[in-house]
A and B are shown apart, each in its own frame.
Chain A
Amino acid sequence: MRSRDSVPAANMAAEELPSDFDIVILGTGLAESVVAAACSRVGQRVLHLDRRSHYAANWASFTFNGLLTWIEEQKEESKPEKIEDWSSLVEEGEELIHLSNSDPASITNLQVFSYTSEEEEADEPNTIEEEKAAGEDAVKESSETESAGSKEEEDAGPAEEEEPAETEEEEPEADQPPTSPPSNQSEPVRKKISHAQLVKEGRRFNIDLVSKLLFSRGSLVDLLIKSNVSRYAEFKNVTRILTYRHGNIEQVPCSRADVFASRQLSVVEKRKLMRFLTSCMEETEEQTAYSGRPYSEFLRDQQLGESLQHFLLHSIAMVTEDTPTEEGLASTRHFLRCLGRYGNTPFLFPVYGLGEIPQCFCRMSAVFGGIYCLRHSVHCLIVDKDTNRCKAVIDSRGQRISCSHVVLEDSYLDADRKRTATPPRYLSRAVLITDASVLPSDPDQQISMVTVPPTTTGGPSVKMVELSSSTMTCIPGTYLVHLTCQSVGSAHEDLLPVVTRIFRTTEPQEEDRRPSVLWCLYFNMADGSALEVEGHRVPSNVYVCSGPDGALGHEHTIRQAESIFQKILPEEEFCPPAPNPEDIIYDGDNASPGEDRAAVENGGNQEENQEKEGNQEENQEKEGNQEENQEENQEKEGNQENQEKKGDQEENGVNQEPEE
């Protein structure tokens, strides 16, 4: 039998990692995962580690119970790190860079509110919550009162409590009543859905820390398709664009069909809107004349009327009052180009949540030999003093693992090694579980993008995504609502005004038809776009990835991943398509495994062959594509048919299979 045979799972913890890789990657966020997939795909030996017990870092999605645990962890994380002495592992001419093993700065101002209560006392939930709110923001700052901490403190008005939390980890029941303690006092029948039910059905939730959508012609969609990572995930169309205007939620007509079907637009408005949308696809002199001036001004001068201006500015371009015209137009065009590729809106959302996407890239990496280990920390980088290159890393067990490149999530670096924007930027996030849609409709399984313009002058504009249970992110009868904006204050301060306008958090009144909030979470997350591209104090072969940024799409992250890949492997193609399943040949005849390392190397070789195949295949596919594109234009087939096509392609693939 195979000689690299089993390591019993019981001993799994004891198994050592191989000790030589091309690339060591720390953190399983989206950028790191894309780099991992890209590098493994072209034959690099990748070790991909995360100190957390879950994939996707701050991009993760959690079951309800998983999220409660995560919330707990955020509070605990502030233990001081013990610095171990690894000097025995360091050779002459080498020095150590210690890495951070917690991430105290990226999540702050965590607050939890539960509006499902146990007793019939109606006002109970609220009062609890308010008290909670006070003691609670403290939760996070405690650990390191540096950049992030201090900034947030100011914002977090109510949170003057925070202390070195290590000393009093208790956080006197602060936010907890509704959450993890086995619900001693919070299960009522007041609402249809109780807290107990949320917990009981918790595994059917997939609650994302990040709220983004995929632009149907954005760089993430392109990459998923190009690399064939798209095989691992399924998507849904965002079904409607909504906006908050004059105290109501309204649907924004954006496709041609929407415009004509719209009941809120007059015939004149419909004509104006269509004319505008058509004309803005091309650059005109008139537009150029507005260059540098606000897009809102440009729109104002188009005689569009107030509601159309609102739709165009806030929901289609999704920019602010003072965004310059050229930028506004560029966003408008991007939006329009993305319409109709898959559906009526420009956006897609992954079934089971965004947290799937990094996992999909990790799988691609693993399939091409990448080695994965969660709950595994790296303590230091070993740097060659002469060359200023990182030669190896030391993991938490004191194993020295050599490598040619290191890619790491920025939270692994101490603050003084990173270059970030000053003042630091944060995102404000809220996650709500509600009992109804913000705009009930006949098929109730809608996925809605809701734009909420600033409610106060100078306030942030809020992006809200409402997911129905069809996305497999929440249980039937509930909706999962994600709110995101650039932080001005704490998440609670920034988003509460919007939440209380659109949702009900108090006893239902007659006439009040707003959805009720069953449970909600507020937190701030460091804005990944605040991390500078260059200028970190790290060795020349160490590359830093940022966490999620505040934009709706994924362009920032994909660009970052591709640029890191190109620095590491300038000659190689970024994410060429993986072969079709039918093309895989188990070719082990010349393999001489012996041990794991051999298996890995040998995998690399084999992979080269496959890569060649892959390339051929790609060329063929390219030709194929062209034809198909032509056909496409003539034929206008639907989704299903399209998938069948894919099937055909795969079968063709079988015929091309070169050898046995």
Chain B
Amino acid sequence: MAIRELKVCLLGDTGVGKSSIVCRFVQDHFDHNISPTIGASFLTKTVPCGNELHKFLIWDTAGQERFHSLAPMYYRGSAAAVIVYDITKLDSFQTLKKWVKELKEHGPEDIVVAIAGNKNDLGDIREVPMKEAKEFAESIAAIFIETSARNAVNVEELFQKISKQIPPLQNAEVESNDSFKLTRQPNPTTRRCC
């Protein structure tokens, strides 16, 4: 099966559970006290989708969202973005629009957008009605799902939904046009200078 690498970037206010979602998805692990973004360039997990394998490269904000200082390079080449809010914090929902705008500004044009209302295990102190969030997501043609990283609810589903929305591989003009990453042992070509 062909492996397709898909960059996914996470957005959302500090503390809504972005890292917890990734951690649950990638390592099926939840910890109340993670100080998560330390040391993680991005995390990866491969899931089957149709006759392809999707290898998600999930980029966390590394805290750069905290003072609103995410770099444009963060968004480059993302196939999808997950914007997370906390269903128990109205503020974090209200700033969704800001993240959507930021994504429109800096993100790739054809990016798949998913909105995740996290912490739905805390329904009793919910501040954001599901209906409202869902309507908003629909209005911007985004995937919508409520998750609980803590209880492992809908986290897999979130990424499955994203997988399904990723357009099938085309002739991939842009991707195949020979840009490359620098690696430890670069290829020696048969050509030498002289």
- A and B bound? yes
**Interface set of A (CB-CB < 8 Å, partner B):** 1-12, 15, 17, 55, 203, 216, 221, 224-225, 228, 230-237, 254-257, 274, 277-278, 281, 336-337, 339-344, 348, 351-352, 356, 359-360, 362-364, 366-369, 371-374, 376, 445, 470, 578-579, 581-582, 584, 586, 588-589, 591-593, 599-600, 602-603, 606-607, 610, 621, 625, 628-629, 632-633, 636-639, 641-643, 645-646, 649
Which interface residue of B31, B180, B182 has the most chain A CB atoms within 10 A?
Answer: B182
CA distance A138 to B9 in the complex (A): 43
CB distance from A629 to the nearest CB of B (A): 6
**15 pairs, CB–CB < 8 Å, chain A vs chain B:** A5-B15, A8-B89, A10-B95, A216-B186, A232-B41, A234-B181, A235-B181, A255-B193, A340-B193, A351-B76, A359-B72, A363-B64, A606-B38, A607-B38, A639-B178
A-B residue pair count with CB separations less than 8 angstroms: 242
* Interface size counted on chain B using CB atoms at 8 A: 65
CB distance from A589 to the nearest CB of B (A): 7
CB distance from B31 to the nearest CB of A (A): 4
A2 touching B15, Cβ below 8 Å = yes
* Across-interface contacts of A10 in B (CB, < 8 A): 91, 94-95
In this assembly, does B57 line the interface, its C-beta being within 8 Å of a C-beta of chain A?
yes
Partner of B182, one of A17, A221, A638: A221
B73 touching A359, Cβ below 8 Å = yes
Residue of A nearest to B31 (CB): A588
* Interfacial residues of chain B within 85-112, with CB under 8 A of chain A in the complex: 86, 89, 91-92, 94-95, 98, 105
* Across-interface contacts of A342 in B (CB, < 8 A): 180, 186-187
B36 touching A610, Cβ below 8 Å = no
A232-B41, A366-B64 known; 19 new pairs, CB 8 Å cut-off, are A1-B119, A6-B14, A9-B68, A10-B94, A203-B105, A236-B179, A255-B193, A256-B194, A340-B188, A366-B62, A368-B38, A368-B39, A369-B38, A374-B69, A581-B57, A586-B36, A637-B187, A638-B189, A639-B187
* Across-interface contacts of B76 in A (CB, < 8 A): 351-352, 356
In this assembly, does B35 line the interface, its C-beta being within 8 Å of a C-beta of chain A?
yes
Partner of A372, one of B64, B191, B192: B64
In this assembly, does B29 line the interface, its C-beta being within 8 Å of a C-beta of chain A?
yes
Partner of A629, one of B31, B181, B185: B185
Residue of A nearest to B149 (CB): A1
* Across-interface contacts of A593 in B (CB, < 8 A): 33, 35
Residue of B nearest to A637 (CB): B187
* Across-interface contacts of A254 in B (CB, < 8 A): 193
CA distance A230 to B177 in the complex (A): 19
In this assembly, does B165 line the interface, its C-beta being within 8 Å of a C-beta of chain A?
no
CB distance from A11 to the nearest CB of B (A): 8
Residue of A nearest to B34 (CB): A588
* Across-interface contacts of A337 in B (CB, < 8 A): 193
CA distance A336 to B29 in the complex (A): 51
* Across-interface contacts of A257 in B (CB, < 8 A): 191
In this assembly, does B32 line the interface, its C-beta being within 8 Å of a C-beta of chain A?
yes
* Across-interface contacts of A277 in B (CB, < 8 A): 193-194
Residue of B nearest to A614 (CB): B39
A2 touching B181, Cβ below 8 Å = no
CB distance from A321 to the nearest CB of B (A): 24
A641 touching B40, Cβ below 8 Å = no
B185 touching A363, Cβ below 8 Å = no
CA distance A110 to B183 in the complex (A): 39
* Interfacial residues of chain B within 5-58, with CB under 8 A of chain A in the complex: 13-17, 23, 27, 29, 31-44, 57
* A342-B180, A582-B44 known; A628+B185 contact, CB < 8 A: yes
In this assembly, does B141 line the interface, its C-beta being within 8 Å of a C-beta of chain A?
no
CA distance A636 to B192 in the complex (A): 11
Residue of A nearest to B23 (CB): A586
B91 touching A9, Cβ below 8 Å = yes
* Across-interface contacts of B98 in A (CB, < 8 A): 9
B32 touching A367, Cβ below 8 Å = no
A591 touching B34, Cβ below 8 Å = yes
CB distance from A205 to the nearest CB of B (A): 12
A6 touching B179, Cβ below 8 Å = no
* Across-interface contacts of A17 in B (CB, < 8 A): 67
A237 touching B13, Cβ below 8 Å = no
Residue of B nearest to A273 (CB): B194
CB distance from A41 to the nearest CB of B (A): 9
A7 touching B178, Cβ below 8 Å = no
CA distance A470 to B177 in the complex (A): 7
* Across-interface contacts of B72 in A (CB, < 8 A): 55, 359
CA distance A406 to B106 in the complex (A): 31
A231 touching B92, Cβ below 8 Å = no
CB distance from A365 to the nearest CB of B (A): 9
